[in-house]
Structure 1
Amino acid sequence: MKKNTRIKFKRLSRFLKILSPFLIINGLILNANANIISSVKPIAFITQAISDGVTNTDILLPDGTSPHTYSLKPSDLAKIKTAELIIWVGEDLETFMPTVLKNIDKNKQIELMDIPTIKSLLRTSTNNHGQQKTHTHNNDYDHDHHGEYDEHIWLSPKIANEIAQAVHDKLISIYPDKKGIFDENLNEFTVKLAETEQNIAKKLINVQNSGYFVFHDAYGYFESQFGLKNLGSFTINPAVQPGVQTVYAIKRELKEHQAVCVFREPQFSPAVIEKIVNGTDVRIGELNPLGTDITLSKNAYSQFLLKLTQQLLDCLDKKLM
């Protein structure tokens, strides 16, 4: 070997030794990004239960943001491009997703609203399950974008089982050697959810005749399954104070329907709600349909449903007052 060649070889060896840790770190970063992404947190609760022990679950929308109005950041697009699987609800809920996903392999996506077993369980946006419900809207209100069907499907334990099955089947196609883990995770999830449903039914049986109003008509699946008495909904923009006529109209509705509670959500201004219930006997409660206060874990979905149940009881159950 010539002298110049030996010098070049030694330099290349030294360079590769210096570079190798960076290559390893970069590989780990790429591998860490190659995971599962769920659009909203409650879907991630279900996904995490099935993927636990094999791969990471990430959530696209940060806490406190709405899937109706969220704008993707460059970092979100980077996550989507490197993900092995993207799970989202549907284009009427996450209006920004179809454009982003048009160049992503269809085999790397699950659009939940398109799954036949989920389609058969959907309720329409106007399906009130035989109850006389009031939907009050005027110029003071901020309307969510709703399609033909109610897309808050994560609030249905029945649909949650179908989501878990779909995620399970897709993960097996990605990681066929991990089938045993996914099978065990799915079985655990199904058994745990059945126990949780029984627990919730027992807890809510005494408040099924207690009428209430919500500001966001998101809870239809949950209410239908557990026989709750939602009298109506108002979708208030917290940035806009309701006018005098609006406040009067809502108060009249509350009295006429003999509501026990009005439920706000974390993003709504307490001052607005207090103004509406002032002079009535109606109590104020809080519901969190996105589980923003729940930590992502294997049992997070059941924790989410139980927390929602407790929030309902805290306001509806007179014995707890």
Structure 2
Amino acid sequence: MLYYHIIPLSFIDEISVMMKRKGHLPKIIAGIAMIVGVNSASQADVVTSIKPLGFIAAAIAQGVTPVKVVLPDGASEHDYALRPSDVRLIQKADLLVWVGPEMESFITRSASQLPINKNLELTALPAIHSHLVGEIEDDHDHDLSDRDTLSSSNSTDREQSDSHSHQGTYNMHIWLSPEMALLSATAIHDRLVQSMPAEKAKLDRNLSQFTVNLEHADKEIRQQLMTVKDKRYYVFHDAYTYFEQHYGLSPLGYFTVNPEIQPGAQKLHEIRTQLTEHNAQCVFAEPQFRPAVIDAVSRGTQVKKGTLDPLGTNISLSQDSYVKFLLQLSSQYLSCLKPMN
């Protein structure tokens, strides 16, 4: 974003005089640096904890200010450890956008060191908090014998790998809810208007455009998924409740499986039994699962294999990236649930 500043004629005259004298080049350079410094200071960098929040922020900040994401592609928000460069990025942020400590515990300490006006914890906002549902208390049957996380002998590793499922009260995957995505976009808009009032008109237009794009995508996705609403399936991770409820999908449940650990023989038998007894059409993994895990749990069944990407790892930040993310997720459901011709 370019900002233009009016330079007094007296300053220009002074530069002209200094250019005619010897030894004044450093002063000229310093004067130019001062102007550039003012320009860069006017720009407020937005930093988000995870990529889907970056999608939303990028739509609102388009043409106003850059957006950067802390969590690298391929990493998990549940067990990531900040690098020194991440800490510096957060410290320099003019606005940090994150879900909350139950989701991104790795960012809690750094976020707490920011001023309140630079720290946007989305689930702490009453409008968003009122839409949260419990981790277990939802409309789907998740009372499965194999719901516990596969464990190693190290209890600390277990807690870190599945902290979001057992330490929190609510399902914190708010970016998978179109309603909460719009509320998040509005909150980001309001904070940026506070810090950059001169950009209010552009921020208003961006929010309006985001709202229109989201409404169009929502209608398209609803029509697409209408054809598979009655198809039954399992997911490995309870991230999709908001998306599933919004579009009326019919999951049988989820297996909270640690993708870093190969399921044992007993665990594989339990999962295969669940898939067969409940006549599941598909079992969905996520990009971080090794193919061998999915092959193992589906072997000996007629269940199709699919992949859901809850972080949009292959999508770049842009004004329409959140809509692309929702449409991609819908296509991933359809690819496994839609009957083959």
Give the TM-score, by structure 1 length: 0.90
1:144 equivalent to 2:165? Answer no
CA distance in 2, matches of 1:287, 1:139: 19
Equivalent position of 1:48 in the other structure: 58
Alignment of 1:21-170 (within 5 A): 23=33, 27=37, 31=41, 34-129=44-139, 131-135=140-144, 136-138=146-148, 140-141=150-151, 144-146=162-164, 147-170=168-191
Equivalent position of 2:272 in the other structure: 251
Equivalent position of 2:331 in the other structure: 310
Question: 1:177 Cα deviation (Å)?
Answer: 1.2
CA distance in 1, matches of 2:314, 2:130: 31
8 Å CA contact 1:61, 1:67 repeated in 2:
yes
Moved more, 232-241 or 303-312: 232-241
Equivalent position of 1:189 in the other structure: 210
Please state whether the residue corresponding to 2:163 is helix, strand or coil: coil
CA distance in 2, matches of 1:186, 1:139: 40
Q: What whole-Å deviation, never above 9, does each CA across 1:196-251 have from its counterpart, x for those lacking one?
A: 11111100011111111111110000000111111111232233211111110001
CA distance in 1, matches of 2:224, 2:130: 28
Please state whether the residue corresponding to 2:47 is helix, strand or coil: strand
8 Å CA contact 1:134, 1:233 repeated in 2:
no
8 Å CA contact 1:85, 1:110 repeated in 2:
yes
1:229 equivalent to 2:250? Answer yes
Choose which of 291, 303, 313 in structure 2 pairs with 1:292. Answer: 313
Equivalent position of 1:5 in the other structure: none
CA distance in 2, matches of 1:287, 1:134: 22
1:123 maps to amino acid: V
CA distance in 1, matches of 2:136, 2:39: 46
CA distance in 2, matches of 1:64, 1:225: 27
CA distance in 2, matches of 1:293, 1:252: 33
8 Å CA contact 2:135, 2:169 repeated in 1:
yes
Question: 1:64 Cα deviation (Å)?
Answer: 0.7
1:240 equivalent to 2:261? Answer yes
Aligned residues: 310
CA distance in 2, matches of 1:30, 1:72: 26
CA distance in 2, matches of 1:14, 1:221: 61
2:176 maps to amino acid: L
Please state whether the residue corresponding to 2:227 is helix, strand or coil: helix
CA distance in 1, matches of 2:285, 2:77: 18
Please state whether the residue corresponding to 1:171 is helix, strand or coil: helix
Q: Tell me, which stretches of 5 or more residues in structure 1 are unaligned?
A: 1-8
Equivalent position of 1:268 in the other structure: 289
Alignment of 1:197-216 (within 5 A): 197-216=218-237
Instruction: Show structure 1 runs of 4+ deviating over 3 A.
Output: 14-21, 23-34
1:133 maps to amino acid: H
Q: What whole-Å deviation, never above 9, does each CA across 1:64-122 have from its counterpart, x for those lacking one?
A: 11111111111111111211100010001111222112221111111000111101111
8 Å CA contact 1:33, 1:83 repeated in 2:
no
2:294 maps to amino acid: I
For the aligned residue pairs, the C-alpha RMSD in angstroms reads 2.3
8 Å CA contact 1:172, 1:178 repeated in 2:
yes
Q: Tell me, which stretches of 5 or more residues in structure 2 are unaligned?
A: 1-20, 152-157
8 Å CA contact 1:87, 1:110 repeated in 2:
yes
8 Å CA contact 1:33, 1:79 repeated in 2:
no
Identity %: 42
Q: Residue 64 and residue 227 in structure 1: after superposition, are their counterparts in 2 closer, same or farther (change >3 A)?
A: same
Q: What whole-Å deviation, never above 9, does each CA across 1:243-283 have from its counterpart, x for those lacking one?
A: 11111000100011110011111110110110111010001
Q: Residue 42 and residue 10 in structure 1: after superposition, are their counterparts in 2 closer, same or farther (change >3 A)?
A: same
Question: 1:139 Cα deviation (Å)?
Answer: 6.2
Question: 1:127 Cα deviation (Å)?
Answer: 2.5
Q: Residue 148 and residue 179 in structure 1: after superposition, are their counterparts in 2 closer, same or farther (change >3 A)?
A: same
2:94 maps to amino acid: E
